[in-house]
């Protein structure tokens, strides 16, 4: 199966997203991870739901990111989405995003418009090759907001032959057929370290 088809099938089976707003009044600023404004932001990043699947020295990540425009204007936001790229992680060989994006050596840039006083979301799906028995999902960029996310939910799926160590507190574990699902839920999420899975 082609990689793009594989990602799309995974995406449609596992995530839901809302529509893209029409632009009226534009403001451009960085949110992830370059947001540095000290006042309360116009766009509130309040929730993320992340699915991570580890298998065959690869990690497949599907993330849904929720925002709310606190203003009475349309806002065009420029995002930077980082990947862990180092000796243990390749640059993703596949990336799915509904909107056009540009790559750099450690992530992607893209833009999205948010309608006035509306909640909205976007989805990113990517796949990385792993050169070590370790995967890191970047969460510490949350601190660039200078405020916690209300809720962050992670579902980590591994073959039952792996015995992973997860550095975040796991609230629930379920086994189905030959896979084990680890569930992590964080509130007032303001992490000091990334999510790290080793096995």
Torsion sign across C-alpha atoms 170, 174, 180, 186: negative
Model confidence, pTM: 0.82
Number of domains the chain contains: 1
Q: Which residue has the higher pLDDT, 31 or 66?
A: 66
* Secondary structure string (H, E, C) spanning 165-190: EECCCCCEEEEECCEEEEEEEEEEEC
Which pLDDT score is estimated for 37?
A: 42
Residue 193 sits in which domain range? 3-198
| pLDDT at residue 39, as a whole number | 55
How far, in Å, CA of 15 to CA of 31, rounded?
Answer: 22
Predicted confidence band of residue 179 (pLDDT cuts 50, 70, 90)? very high
Cα–Cα distances (Å) from 134 to 7, 30, 92, 185, in that order, read 22, 30, 15, 21
**Does pLDDT of 108 surpass 90?**
yes
Q: Map tokens 């601190």 to a residue.
A: 143
Mean pLDDT (whole number) for 24-32: 37
**Structure-block tokens of residue 185:** 């839920």
Is the pLDDT at 21 greater than 90, yes or no? no
Provide the mean pLDDT of the chain. 85
- pLDDT score of 15 more than 50: no
> What CATH number has the domain bearing residue 24?
2.60.40.3680
Query: 33-74: per-residue pLDDT in tens?
Result: 344 444 557 899 999 999 999 999 999 999 999 999 999 999
- pLDDT, tens only, 127-175: 999 999 999 999 998 877 778 999 999 999 999 999 999 999 999 999 9
Q: What is the C-alpha to C-alpha distance for residues 65 and 49, in angstroms, rounded to an integer?
A: 7
């Amino acid at each position: 199966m082609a990689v793009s088809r594989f990602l799309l099938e995974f995406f449609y089976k596992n995530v839901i997203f809302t529509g893209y707003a029409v632009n009226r009044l534009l403001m451009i600023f960085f949110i992830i991870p370059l947001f540095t404004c000290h006042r309360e932001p116009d766009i509130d990043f309040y929730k993320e739901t992340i699915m991570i699947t580890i298998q065959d020295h690869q990690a497949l990540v599907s993330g849904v990111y929720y925002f709310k425009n606190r203003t009475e204007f349309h806002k065009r936001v420029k995002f930077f989405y980082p990947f862990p790229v180092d000796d243990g992680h390749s640059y993703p060989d596949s990336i799915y995003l509904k909107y056009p994006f540009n790559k750099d050596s450690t992530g992607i840039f893209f833009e999205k418009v948010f309608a006035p006083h509306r909640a909205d979301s976007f989805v990113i799906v990517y796949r990385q090759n792993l050169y070590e028995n370790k995967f890191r999902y970047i969460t510490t960029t949350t601190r660039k907001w200078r405020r916690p996310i209300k809720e962050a939910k992670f579902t980590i799926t591994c073959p039952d032959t792996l015995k992973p160590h997860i550095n975040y507190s796991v609230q629930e574990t379920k086994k189905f057929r030959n896979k084990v699902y680890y569930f992590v839920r964080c509130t007032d999420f303001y992490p000091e370290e990334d999510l790290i899975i080793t096995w």
